[in-house]
Amino acid sequence: MQQSPFGETRTRVEFNHALVAEDGHVVSPLVGWNNAEGVVLISPAMSHGAATPRFVQYLVNGSEACTTTGADAPIERLVYVLEGDANLDGETLPADSFAWFSPGDSYTLKLPAGARALVFEKNYEPLDGHNTPERVVGTLATAPKDPFLGDPEAMLATLLPVEPSFDMAVNVFEYTPGTTLPFVETHVMEHGLYMRSGQGVYRLGDCWYPVQQGDTIWMASYCPQWFVAMGKESASYIYYKDIHRPLLTNPAS
C-alpha cells in the first residue's frame, strides 16, 4: 500500500458517521478467534459524541491455524467470506458465501492462509412470541435479489430471512455505473457498510466522501445518507442494519 509522506488519510470519524479507509488499518489479535489477526472496523469504542455504534464489524485475515468455535452468548455473528475458502464443520465456504450463527451456537470455522472474512456481531435481542432462529448458511449467488424500488440498475440481495425472529439484516447492494440511491435516506436503523467492489461517492450527513473497494462506513441512526456509483465498473457493498425490535423498552422498576 502506498503511504502518504504528509500524514494524509481519507479516514474520518464524526459524531454520527465514520469512513475508515484501508490506509489506516491496524492489524491486531481478535478475541474469540485462535491464531487470527484482523482489523476492528466499527465498535462502540468509536463513540465520538452523541452516537455510539450498537454492533461490531471487523475483518479476519486467515492463517494456517485460524479457527473459531463460536461467540459467547448473547452475541450473534454473521461471517461473510471475502476471499479464499473457509471451512465450516468440514464443509467448504467459498468466497461470497456466508454463515449466520445464533447466540451460543457451537461450531468449528477455519479460515486458512489466503482467506479473508468480514464479520458482524451484536447482542441478540429475543422477541416475545418468536424463537431464536437456527443457523443460516448461504451464498450471494443464491440469495434473493430484487431491483431496489423497481430500478434494475440497483440490485439488492437479501442474505438473511426478513422475519421478526431476526434482529439484524445483512444485504449486498450492487449499482451499475452512474446509478444512485433514489433519495437521501434518513432512518432509525444504523448501518455498517463494507465496499466490496468498485467506487463512488457517499454522502454522510453534510459531507461527500469518495469511496472505493475496501472502505468501511458507519452510519448512526438518522444520519442522512446517499450514494452514487462512479467509474467504469459496477460498485457493490455489503451492509448491516438493525431491524424488527421495539423502539421503546420499559424502564427497570
pLDDT, residue 1, reads: 57
Q: Is 92 helix (H, G, I), strand (E, B) or coil?
A: strand
252 pLDDT above the threshold of 80: no
- Residue 87: band (very low, low, confident or very high) from pLDDT cuts 50, 70, 90: very high
- pLDDT tens, residue by residue, 107-147: 999 999 999 999 999 999 999 999 999 999 999 999 999 99
- Residue 2: band (very low, low, confident or very high) from pLDDT cuts 50, 70, 90: low
Per-residue b or e along 160-184, where b marks 16 or more CB atoms closer than 10 Å to that residue's CB: beeeebbbbbbbbbbbebebbbeee
Domains of the chain as residue ranges with CATH: 12-242 (2.60.120.10)
- Residue 250: band (very low, low, confident or very high) from pLDDT cuts 50, 70, 90: low
29 pLDDT above the threshold of 70: yes
149 pLDDT above the threshold of 50: yes
186 pLDDT above the threshold of 80: yes
pLDDT, residue 47, reads: 85
66 pLDDT above the threshold of 50: yes
Mean pLDDT of 224-239: 98
- Taking the model in full, what pTM does it have? 0.96
Our CA dihedral for 160, 163, 169, 170, rounded to 10 degrees, sits at: 10
Q: Is 24 helix (H, G, I), strand (E, B) or coil?
A: helix
Q: Is the CB of residue 205 less than 8 Å from the CB of residue 220?
A: no
Q: What percent of the chain has pLDDT over 90?
A: 93
